[in-house]
Chain A
Amino acid sequence: MNGDTSAYWRKLLELDKPLPADPLAEYRSCHRHLRPFFYFLFKVLSVLFFPIQAAGMENIPARPPFILASNHLSVADYPSAVAKLPNAVRDRLHALATKYFYDNPAARFFMKIGSNVIRIDTVTDFFPALRAAACVLRAGEPIFIAPEGTRSETGELLPFKVGVGILAVELNVPVVPVYIRGTFEIIPAGAGMFRPGKINVVYGKPIDPAPYIEKKKTRQAYEVYKEFTEELRTRILELSKSPY
């Protein structure tokens, strides 16, 4: 199979359609007004019960769009990963949340306070979610994604879903690998209450999709997306071995 097959993927993602007048309106919830209070409270709790250390924040590109992609261990991952970021970055981030959480009213309430949330269906219908994420990136905003698609029940890194590779390669957006350590011990999947502990967040160097865009000229698009996604997974595994 020779040659770039991405034209169809671009069509499905509607990448060549003009953006709506206000592409971010759908994700700009009134809950965001509670965000400063939420992160203040989260920081107080973290100082008392689960101190967060962050390293490599200089690797986050100065200007969006970009993708932050992290491992997924716990409901505490997102707030832990962004707690130390400057408000200006945190407020612009759009987090992809599975319908499993989003469709739960209580979870949705807190998610909308914590971030601008995009609902995704990773099992049966992922294109609407990919289109929504692509729309946010095309509008020049950053997104946060957990490519495993679900929380790891063992703490081990699961296989990654290819959506992140599709977005990065088709939109030429850098991806910052993020490794979160400690949230699994503090509140793993299924736990009702948190335990005290320490959290480390490491931001790695961004992965530039340019070489993959070049590869796509002579390869199946899907293979290239997969390869990009594998590199991201490898980089997150490497971060997991860092001393931070």
Chain B
Amino acid sequence: MTNELEKEIKSLVAKVIKIPEEKIDLKANLFTDLGVDSLLGVEIFAALDKKYHIDIPEAKLREAQTLADIIQMVKELKK
């Protein structure tokens, strides 16, 4: 289940930022390593919000920097 969720989130992030899944490392910084700009970062959250119906606080926009952070955040918010 956890792995499925991780795969699902990775796939969603890849589609939003238009980078192949295999090029997204869990620990890579989306903004500095993968060139995601801050508003495209918001779009990742918008897509997660839509898919999982989770209420992502604005403060998380600045905290989540890597795919691993995002996965962790979704897991916490889904609890």
Contacts and interface: CB of A to CB of B under 8 A. Distances in A.
Contacts of B45: 8
Contact of B50 (A7, A127, A162, A166): A7
B15 interface: yes
A contacts with B: majority SS = helix
Contacts of A172: none
Given A8-B56, A12-B58, A127-B58, A220 B47 contact: yes
Contacts of A162: 39
Interface residues of B, number: 15
B46 A222 contact: yes
B12 A8 contact: no
Contact of B40 (A8, A9, A127, A222): A222
B46 A8 contact: yes
A60 B19 CA distance: 41
Interface string A1-43: 1010111110110000000000000000000000000000000
A221 B45 CA distance: 12
A117 B42 CA distance: 26
B contacts with A: majority SS = helix
Contact of B43 (A3, A11, A222): A222
A126 B42 CA distance: 12
Given A1-B16, A162-B39, A221 B58 contact: no
Interface in A160-211: 162, 166
Contacts of B40: 222
B58 A7 contact: no
A232 B55 CA distance: 32
A225 B40 CA distance: 11
A122 to B, nearest CB: 10
B39 A6 contact: no
Nearest to A5: B46
Interface of A: 1, 3, 5-9, 11-12, 126-127, 162, 166, 220-222, 225
Interface of B: 12, 15-16, 38-40, 42-43, 45-47, 49-50, 56, 58
9 contacts: A5-B46, A5-B49, A5-B50, A7-B50, A8-B50, A9-B42, A220-B16, A220-B47, A222-B40
